[in-house]
């Protein structure tokens, strides 16, 4: 029976339960410890728990897990489950901060963390500015997620912690380039691909793979071939995200339709549209980045992206990158990578490049 693009493969779903169980245990322990000191600490910690356990595909733990197993790691070993939990906590840190930077009001169909605490400030009729309070608390909650993640990683082998540290640097570098690109507007294709590479691609796929094999001290054996698989797939993943950000169904993505168009995200999709646009289409594209865009204007911009051939071009690029990624798995087989892990990575590649949420 074939699965739809929205149905996760077993290679992904098998990882979800153990990782979420570890996250639940860790966060429940932290909530109990800190609320015993001060009851006011329950709200921010519970907010983090709700955010981490309230959604997410768990892709990063899955890539890490199958790299670990492929390199000979014992299935469901505590170290790879802890690392998967750390990756999810780091992802929470990145998303919570990203929502502040973008001024987003919804994430996964719910109010973003900073808007929740801004609302709390308003309801409480507290001193100061509600927006600043909400954003300040959300920054601290994101920081806590990163600290909890580091604590899970601190006892891993040096090579694993080194790959983990590099992952964190790269996601911050990519985020800065993303913020800068949105502010400047009109980012070219080369720059927008570089942003996608560092902000999302490497940190979602390539580095979690590296961390996984490094947990069994085999990073140098598999680094090059895992990058040959992970780097193109990471780009395909982000390009699919860009299409969903411009065209995705709000009921599935949990974010307003066309949100990336309002935020002016410097995506390859828009770079291609701008490069191919007529003068009239170019004038419409100048509206990208205007938070006041109406639904009608969003639809008009979507038509421009389609009519310029940008969507078809990006879809073609996604297909090519995914095929390149899957072909690279043959090289892993030649290095003695476990066949069950190779099959899992192939399934994950097809899912992340063809998903609809």
Q: Is 89 helix (H, G, I), strand (E, B) or coil?
A: helix
pLDDT tens digits for range 35-66: 999 999 999 999 999 999 998 999 999 999 99
Residue 307 pLDDT exceeds 80? yes
Residue 3 is assigned to a structural domain of this protein: no
Residue 310 is assigned to a structural domain of this protein: yes
Residue 135 pLDDT exceeds 80? yes
15-22: list long-range contacts, CB under 8 Å, 24+ apart: 15/58, 15/61, 15/62, 15/65, 15/84, 16/58, 18/76, 18/81, 18/84, 19/58, 19/61, 19/81, 19/84, 19/85, 19/88, 20/53, 20/58, 22/81, 22/82, 22/84, 22/85
Residue 5 is assigned to a structural domain of this protein: no
Tell me how long the chain is.
Answer: 357
Structure tokens at 287: 């509206």
Residue 348 pLDDT exceeds 70? yes
Residue 100 is assigned to a structural domain of this protein: yes
Query: How far, in Å, CA of 206 to CA of 131, rounded?
Result: 36
Query: How far, in Å, CA of 88 to CA of 107, rounded?
Result: 15
Number of domains within the chain: 1
Query: How far, in Å, CA of 198 to CA of 211, rounded?
Result: 16
Q: Which helix (H) or strand (E) holds 110?
A: strand 110-111
Q: Which helix (H) or strand (E) holds 152?
A: helix 130-153
Residue 6 pLDDT exceeds 80? no
Query: How far, in Å, CA of 278 to CA of 74, rounded?
Result: 57
Residue 104 is assigned to a structural domain of this protein: yes
Range of the domain at 142: 10-354
Residue 254 pLDDT exceeds 70? no
pLDDT tens digits for range 17-26: 999 999 999 9
Query: How far, in Å, CA of 226 to CA of 67, rounded?
Result: 8
Residue-by-residue DSSP string for 53-67: HS----HHHHHHHHH
CATH of the domain at 213: 1.10.600.10
pTM across the whole model: 0.93
Q: Is 105 helix (H, G, I), strand (E, B) or coil?
A: coil
What is the pLDDT, as a whole number, of residue 201?
83
What is the pLDDT, as a whole number, of residue 2?
40
Query: How far, in Å, CA of 227 to CA of 101, rounded?
Result: 30
Number of neighbours of residue 151 by Cβ within 10 angstroms: 13
Query: How far, in Å, CA of 321 to CA of 232, rounded?
Result: 5
Residue 4 is assigned to a structural domain of this protein: no
Mean pLDDT of 297-313: 95
pLDDT tens digits for range 200-249: 889 999 999 999 999 999 999 999 999 999 999 999 999 998 999 899 77
Q: pLDDT higher for 162 or 254? A: 162
| Percentage with pLDDT > 90 across the chain | 77
Residue 288 is assigned to a structural domain of this protein: yes
What is the pLDDT, as a whole number, of residue 292?
86
Radius of gyration in angstroms for the set of CA atoms belonging to the chain, rounded to a whole number? 21
163-166: list long-range contacts, CB under 8 Å, 24+ apart: 163/207, 163/210, 163/211, 163/214, 163/219, 164/86, 164/207, 164/211, 166/207
What is the pLDDT, as a whole number, of residue 187?
75
Residue 5 pLDDT exceeds 70? no
What is the pLDDT, as a whole number, of residue 4?
45
Residues 6+ apart with CB under 8 A from 147: none
For all residues of the chain together, what is the average pLDDT? 93
Residue 3 pLDDT exceeds 50? no
What is the pLDDT, as a whole number, of residue 253?
67
Answer whether 215's CB lies under 8 Å from 230's CB. no
Beta bridge partners of 110: 107
Residue 264 is assigned to a structural domain of this protein: yes
Distance of CA 250 to the CA centre of its chain: 17
């Amino acid at each position: 029976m074939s699965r739809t693009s929205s149905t996760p493969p077993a290679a992904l779903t098998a990882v979800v339960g153990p990782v979420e169980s570890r996250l639940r245990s860790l966060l429940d322990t932290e909530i109990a410890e800190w609320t015993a000191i001060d009851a006011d600490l329950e709200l921010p910690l519970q907010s983090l728990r709700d955010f981490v356990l309230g959604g997410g595909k768990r892709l990063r733990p899955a890539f890490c897990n199958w790299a670990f197993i492929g390199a000979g790691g014992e299935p469901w070993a505590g170290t790879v489950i802890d690392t998967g939990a750390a990756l999810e906590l780091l992802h929470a840190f990145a998303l919570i901060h990203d929502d502040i930077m973008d001024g987003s009001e919804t994430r996964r169909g719910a109010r973003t963390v900073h808007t929740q605490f801004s609302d709390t400030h308003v309801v409480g009729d507290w001193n100061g500015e509600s927006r600043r309070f909400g954003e300040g608390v959300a920054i601290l909650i994101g920081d806590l997620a990163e600290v909890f993640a580091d604590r899970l990683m601190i006892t891993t082998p040096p090579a694993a912690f080194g790959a983990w540290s590099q992952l964190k640097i790269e996601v911050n570098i990519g985020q800065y380039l993303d913020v800068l690109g949105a502010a400047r507007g009109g980012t070219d294709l080369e720059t927008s691909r570089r942003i996608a590479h560092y902000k999302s691609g490497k940190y979602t796929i390539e580095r979690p793979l590296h961390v996984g094999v490094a947990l069994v001290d085999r990073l140098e054996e598999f680094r090059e071939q895992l990058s040959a698989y992970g780097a193109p797939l990471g780009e395909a993943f982000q390009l699919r995200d860009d299409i969903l950000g411009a065209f995705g169904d709000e009921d599935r993505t949990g974010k307003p339709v066309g949100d990336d168009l309002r935020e002016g995200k410097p995506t390859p999709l828009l770079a291609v549209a701008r490069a191919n646009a007529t003068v009239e289409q170019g004038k419409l594209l100048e509206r990208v980045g205007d938070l006041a865009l109406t639904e009608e204007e969003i639809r008009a911009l979507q038509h421009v992206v389609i009519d310029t051939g940008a969507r078809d071009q990006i879809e073609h690029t996604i297909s090519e990158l995914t095929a390149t990624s899957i072909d690279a798995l043959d090289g892993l087989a030649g290095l003695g990578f476990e066949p069950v892990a190779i099959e899992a990575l192939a399934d994950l590649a097809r899912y992340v490049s063809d998903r609809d949420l």
